[in-house]
Structure formats: structure tokens, C-alpha cells
Structure 1
Amino acid sequence: MSAYVIFIREHSHDPEELRIYSQKAPGGLAGHPVTPLAVYGTHEVIEGPAIEGAAILEFPSIEAAKVWYYSPAYQDAVQHRLRGGTYRGIIVEGVSAAASE
């Protein structure tokens, strides 16, 4: 069943660290079954506190999402994202096609 990684950027602290992250992160996706669905585009907060942006990545399963997140290549990149801003990150399992009908 599909799984979604959602990152919410609450506040940026260090633009240089975020620049380094944006250079390294694409290499961390290589070889992983991921489909970017939204990446810090225009957004509107309809509940809760304001955010600076959000990203949503689709994976075929929670296990595949974890393999990507904990991979050495992504862990090399993520340290810069976490130094660059305050983020929330979650992995959430999707629903089956039968459940959504």
C-alpha cells in the first residue's frame, strides 16, 4: 500500500544550510521508488499555525519510505535541512483503492 512522506517547514533559520540541502537531496532520491507530488509550491493553511512550505513524496510502502529516509545518501542531505530550519516530518500509509470507493 502506498505511503506518503510529508515534510512541513515551519521556519527557516539558515538559508545556506537549506541551499546545501537542496543541492544534496536530489541525489538521495536516486534509485528509490519515489514520486514527488508537491514540493514547496504555493500553499494555503486552512487549519493550524502558518507554515513556510510543505513537500509530499509518494512511495510504494512505508518500508520503501523508511529505506529512502534512512539511506546514507539522504542522511547526508537531511542534516543540512534540519540545521537550516524547523521542520515536521511524517510517514503516513495511504488507503487502498477498495477503501476509497
Structure 2
Amino acid sequence: MPACLISLCRDVTDRKRLEDYWANVAPSFEGVEAKPLVAYAPFEVLEGNGGVLGVVLFEFSSMEEARHWYTSPAYQEVKKRREGAADFDLILVEGKIVPAAQRMPKSSS
């Protein structure tokens, strides 16, 4: 089952280091079944408090493949280039529809 990695850039504190990360991250995807769908394209926040500077979306062949990429030595090494340069939320989500009765959040009442 496919999975998506959603990366939300919330703040940039060192643009030069972030650009170094961008320049060096591509090789970490070699041999990984991943397809870039969105990378810092124009976007519009329709609901919520915003606070997002950029959005990246990758489709992986599975949750396992995405975890394999994220925990790989290649990615962990290049990830050091962006740590401290920007604040990101990375969200890994399985590509399926959950029936309404099983969805979160659960009612508190």
C-alpha cells in the first residue's frame, strides 16, 4: 500500500545550510521507491493558523519503504545538514481511507 511523506517547513534560521541540504539530499533516494509530487510549489492555507513556509510531498511504495529511506545512513547523514537550519514537521501517512466510524479524533463525550 502506498504511503506519503508530508514535510512542512515552519521556520528557516539558516538559509545557506538549508540550501546545502537541498543540494545534497537527492542521492539519499537512490534505490528507494519514492516519487516527488510537490516541492515548495505555491500553496494556500485554506484553514488553520498557517505558519507554513513550504510544503514537500513524496509518495513511497509503502510505509516500510519510507521508513527505510528515513532511517537509512544516507538520509541520516544528509539530514544533519538541515538540523538547526530550519524547523520541519515530517508526517508519514499510509495511503488508505479509514471508515468514518474508525477515524480520529474520538469524541470526548
Q: Using structure 1 for the length normalisation, give the TM-score.
A: 0.89
Q: Which residue of 2 aligns with 1:62?
A: 63
Pick closer, same or farther for the CA change 1:17–1:35 going to 2, 3 Å: same
Q: Which structure's CA Rg is the greater one?
A: 2
Matches within 5 A, 1:1-101: 1-48=1-48, 49-95=50-96
CA drift at 1:8: 0.2
Q: Quick one: distance in 2 between partners of 1:43 and 1:81?
A: 22
The list of structure 1 runs, each at least 4 consecutive aligned residues, that deviate by more than 3 angstroms after superposition, is none
1:5 to partner: Cα distance: 0.6
Q: Quick one: distance in 1 between partners of 2:83 and 2:5?
A: 16
The amino acid that maps onto 2:6 is: I
Aligned length: 97
CA deviations over 1:53-97 (Å, ceiling 9, x no partner):
01000011100000001111111111222221111001000017x
Could you tell me how far 1:19 is from its partner in structure 2?
Answer: 1.3
Structure 1 SS opposite 2:36: strand
> RMSD across aligned C-alpha pairs, in angstroms?
1.4
In terms of fraction of residues, the more helix-rich structure is 1
Q: TM-score, normalised by structure 2?
A: 0.83
Question: Unaligned stretches of 5+ in structure 2?
Answer: 100-109
Runs of 5+ consecutive residues of structure 1 not aligned to the other structure: none
Q: Separation in 1 of the partners of 2:17 and 2:69? A: 21
| Rounded Cα–Cα distance in structure 1 between residues aligned with 2:28 and 2:78 | 7
